[in-house]
Amino acid sequence: MDSVERRRILGDDVIKEIRRRVAEAPPPPPEVVDTLRQILAPAIRIQQFSRVRDLP
């Protein structure tokens, strides 16, 4: 789903409310950030590798 479709489905008011709530949320504690980095690091490396392979 791209941003145009998401906006069509949710509407501008819902998107504004989501953004407002996200902005109000406190930052995660460092241990949560570290855990997420460990979980996401392999996926990020795969994504970066696939971009390099697709270059001409």
pLDDT digits (tens, 9 = 90+) for 13-34: 999 999 999 999 999 999 999 9
The whole domain housing 21 covers 3-54
CA pair distance 40, 44, nearest whole angstrom = 6
Axis crossing angle, helix 12-24 with helix 3-10, rounded to the nearest 10: 100
Confidence of residue 48 (pLDDT cuts 50, 70, 90): low
CA pair distance 3, 19, nearest whole angstrom = 14
- Contact predicate 15/7, CB 8 Å: yes
CA pair distance 3, 18, nearest whole angstrom = 14
Specify the pLDDT at position 44.
Answer: 72
Specify the pLDDT at position 13.
Answer: 97
Count of the separate structural domains present in the chain: 1
